[in-house]
Structure 1
Amino acid sequence: MGPQEILLAEPRGFCAGVDRAIDIVEHALAKFGAPIYVRHEIVHNTFVVNDLKSKGAIFIEDLAEVPPGATLVFSAHGVSKAVKQEADARGFHVFDATCPLVNKVHMEVAKLSREGYEFIMIGHKGHPEVEGTMGQVDRGIHLVEEVSDVARVHPGQTERLAVVTQTTLSVDDAAEIMEAVKQRFPSIRQPKQQDICYATQNRQDAVKMLSRDVDVVIVVGSPTSSNSNRLAELARKLGVDSYMVDNADELQPQWLEGKSRIGLTAGASAPDVLVQEVIARLKSFGALAVRRMEGIQETVKFPLPKGLKA
């Protein structure tokens, strides 16, 4: 027997930081014309990046690829101080699409660093957000990816030590690592509000609720998207089969065999058009009804930078 009902997680899909980042590139294209250069994928979603490429955005990793005097946008994940300084030195016209919640972590690191603090950062090695945050200081920031890493950290001193996290981690995993950090460094300074962002938390909470009621969870998101990967992982941890798809074409009918209720969610960088296409494909596999879960209504909005407002 195939699927009978699709249960939609609430909230799912775009967060305020992603919305703003995409808006910045679109406004820059409208105001200054193509090409607009973007350092790194503006958000980690294949569809969004390809859509912006078709409108005249050029995605680069190395600022050497950008011609002098060009307009450059920093991705939502943020950049190191060195990248900012290089962009200034090369005279680019820069718009910073760093998520304000990532920026908050950057400012905290910069401020505490001036007060002589070293840092433990909980995050995924190689993720651009982690590179950006760690690049706010020249030294004294130590990355831990899992509990076992905590014992291997040797800060220069422990009098002034603070902990920060990537904004898109698994809330539960991060809490476990944080516990280990506090046990090893009892006087460590923690952020007043956790660094994991509201959207990450809300989407994970929604998957926890969803997983109680469904036989399989489909997450719409790209392989590079940290927060999307965490959603699929979370459902699996809760004992539900879970698959991540970049688009409807990746859905496999055999995933749904013997499953009557399908949970559907989307990472914070996945646009709703992809969710709608997945729903249409699931209906073609036999799903009859779509029901929305009750969930938090997000009202967060972030303004565009000066010089781009409509």
Structure 2
Amino acid sequence: MNAPFPSQSPQDAAKLPLTVLIAAPRGFCAGVDRAIEIVERALQRYGAPVYVRHEIVHNKYVVENLRAKGAVFVEELDEVPADGHVVFSAHGVPKSVPAEAERRELTYLDATCPLVSKVHRQAERQIEKDRHIIFIGHEGHPEVIGTMGQVEPGQMTLVETVKDVAALPFAQDVPLAYLSQTTLSVDDTAEIIAALEARYPEIAGPKAEDICYATSNRQAAVKRIAPASDLVLVIGAPNSSNSLRLVEVAERCGTQAKLIQRGDEIDPAWLDGVGTIGVTAGASAPERLVREVIERLGEWRAVEERTLVSAEEKMVFKLPRELADSE
């Protein structure tokens, strides 16, 4: 539903108009909501500090907010004291991480997104069927490291592009399966899967695509606002895969797009000759930052907001049972 156009003050009357098309859905997904709540409830139950291995989600604002409440972010478990409580990030971790936590008798909570955990289980099942896994993802991303760490070294091969598929060394009679990172470009991944299936007609795939509902929905929402926008602002972190994909989606629609983390990163020069701006947020970016960006635009232009809804999201994930009863 379109937001009502506010009555103009004399100051606004002197400003050039700017239509802001707000994508819906945008921002937090169920997996991110769950991960943040796990850290907050752990702090309530155990008290500060609660250690978090890697950023709980890829958003500086969220991380700093949790740090202010007593979360301590570490890269590896050896930074966690013997009596510490630790949370694993939403991106998932290799099997070696909980194994090490158990060896050290650490209290740990797993905030891995359930949709990422689903991919982990699929990987295990394919290995049980003696298939080598081709994993579609971005090298070095925490989710990729976590998923590849569910199986023994050498049982999974990473591909990032169609060109990588052409370079695969496997013969057609080798039993293969493919899986993918949950935050990829829907269009790019479809091209890579098509290339895999063309080269290896017997390759096994998941029953449903691995790209998560939130990633798909946010990309579809950008496809709706981008063609009508002169510029699209994507609120998200530079290390956020799903946010970077939103920029790419907008650019594929022929629209200029910029990734920003906060409203103060907007250059007023970007508004020169611009009558309509699209705004969206990656799955790790809170709604508060969307409002901050729109308020920042309102400092220079008379903003009229319109929200374009392309899907409704009602997904909710359960908390770990250790925290489900905490207040």
- TM over 0.5, shorter chain: yes
Which amino acid in the other structure matches residue 118 of structure 1? H
Q: Note the C-alpha offset of 1:24.
A: 0.2
Residue identity in the other structure for 2:219: Q
Normalised to the residue count of structure 2, the TM-score between the two structures is 0.92
The yes-or-no answer on 1:127 pairing with 2:136 is no
Distance 2:170 2:147 in 1: 17
Aligned counterparts of 2:208 and 2:173: Cα–Cα separation in 1: 22
Paired residues of 1:2 and 1:259 also in contact (CA < 8 A): no
Q: Does 1:273 align with 2:288?
A: yes
Corresponding position: 1:28 with 2:56: no
Cα distance in 2 for residues equivalent to 1:113 and 1:70: 34
RMSD: 1.3
Change (3 A) 1:7 1:262: same
Q: Given that residues 17 and 304 in structure 2 are in contact (C-alpha distance below 8 angstroms), is that contact kept between their aligned partners in structure 1?
A: no
Measure the CA separation in 2 of the matches of 1:76 and 1:157. 36
Deviation at 1:294, TM superposition (A): 2.6
Q: Which amino acid aligns with 1:165?
A: S
Kindly state the Cα deviation for residue 155 of structure 1 after the two structures are TM-superposed.
4.1
1:259 — aligned with what?
A: 274
Alignment equivalent of 1:11, drawn from 25, 28, 40: 25
Gaps of 5+ in 2: 1-14
- Bigger-Rg structure (1/2): 2
With structure 1 as the length reference, what TM-score do the two structures score?
A: 0.97
Structure-2 separation of matches of 1:89 and 1:2: 63
Instruction: Provide, for residues 71-97 of structure 1, a one-character-per-residue CA deviation record: whole Å limited to 9, x for no partner.
Output: 110000000011121111111111000
Does residue 287 (structure 1) correspond to residue 299 (structure 2)? The answer is no
What letter is aligned with 2:267? Q
Q: How far did residue 287 of structure 1 move?
A: 3.4
Q: Tell me how far apart the structure 2 counterparts of residues 301 and 237 of structure 1 sit (CA, whole Å).
A: 31
Match of 2:109 in 1: 95
Q: Which residue of 2 aligns with 1:51?
A: 65
**CA shift for structure 1 position 161:** 1.0
Q: CA deviation at 1:154?
A: 2.3
Identity %: 53
The reply on whether 1:201 has 2:238 as its aligned counterpart is no
Structure 1 counterpart of 2:253: 238
Distance in structure 2 (CA, Å) of the matches to 1:203 and 1:218: 13
- Deviation string, structure 1 residues 220-273 (Cα, Å, up to 9, x no partner): 101110000100111112110101110001011111110101100000000011
Q: Which is further off, 288-297 or 300-309?
A: 288-297
Supply the distance in 1 between the matched residues of 2:317 and 2:276 (Cα, whole angstroms).
36
Aligned length: 310
What residue in structure 1 maps to residue 5 of structure 2? none
The letter of the residue matching 2:197 is: K
Tell me by how many angstroms 1:61 deviates.
1.1
Say if 1:31 and 1:255 are closer, same or farther in 2 by CA, change over 3 A.
Answer: same
SS in structure 2 of the partner of residue 308 of structure 1: coil
Structure 1 position 301 matched with structure 2 position 316: yes
Instruction: Tell me the amino acid that sits aligned with residue 160 of structure 2.
Output: E
| Separation in 2, partners of 1:162, 1:36 | 38
1:156 CA displacement? 8.1
